[in-house]
Amino acid sequence: MPTTVFDQFTRRTADVTAQLAALGIPLTAPPPTPADPDPADPWANIYTAPVDRSSLAWCTAVTMLADHHHTGIDRQVLAADALLRELGIRGLAQLHSDLHAGAPVDYRFTRCPYCVGIGEDPTQPTCREAGCATWLEFAGHDHPCPVCHGHDHQHQWYAEEQMTELEELLADATEERERRASLRHRIRARLYNRTTRS
């Protein structure tokens, strides 16, 4: 039976939802307790969207957290809820950076945890769902991954490219150093000649 790249996303979601069902954890996060309305700001929004624990983004977040902390997903459910409630799918990029000690993640060298390096949105949204302009609906354009923004994960090619660039920079720096050394030698020789004549 032929499988596509996108089958791994359904498998990831199915595995996590099966574990949640086995643990008796509901697939929709209960809404947080409403905060007391602030009399100073009556227009403050106290509504929070429900979190779907069967979505690919939530399953990715809970898997990342469980793998990083070496725990079961049951211990990371509330953290994944809070992440998606606060930051949405783009919060996965922030989580990935935080798990790498706050360093920015270069998705050309590191595989994206959400799209696994394909660069497209794995949920394959329509233009209407993605909120594209109406004139783009007929252009047949791709929807880049909201986490890695469509970066190509080709670490071997980019590593060779970066090594070539570094070798060029090193050659330029060596040439500049030799030129400066020659200039210093000429200046030193002239100053020596002046001091010996006087």
23-58: pLDDT as tens digits = 998 888 877 666 666 667 666 555 566 788 999 999
For residues 29 and 50, give the distance between their C-alpha atoms in angstroms, rounded to a whole number. Answer: 6
Backbone angles phi, psi at 2, to 5 degrees: -70, 140
Domain for residue 126, yes or no? no
Domain for residue 80, yes or no? yes
For residues 67 and 141, give the distance between their C-alpha atoms in angstroms, rounded to a whole number. Answer: 34
Q: What's the confidence (pLDDT) of residue 1? A: 44
The residue segments making up the domain with residue 55 are: 7-32+42-114
Mean pLDDT computed over 86-95: 89
**Tally of domains within the chain:** 1
23: nearest Cα among 75, 68, 71, 89: 75
C-alpha 154, offset from chain centre? 15
Backbone angles phi, psi at 56, to 5 degrees: -65, -40
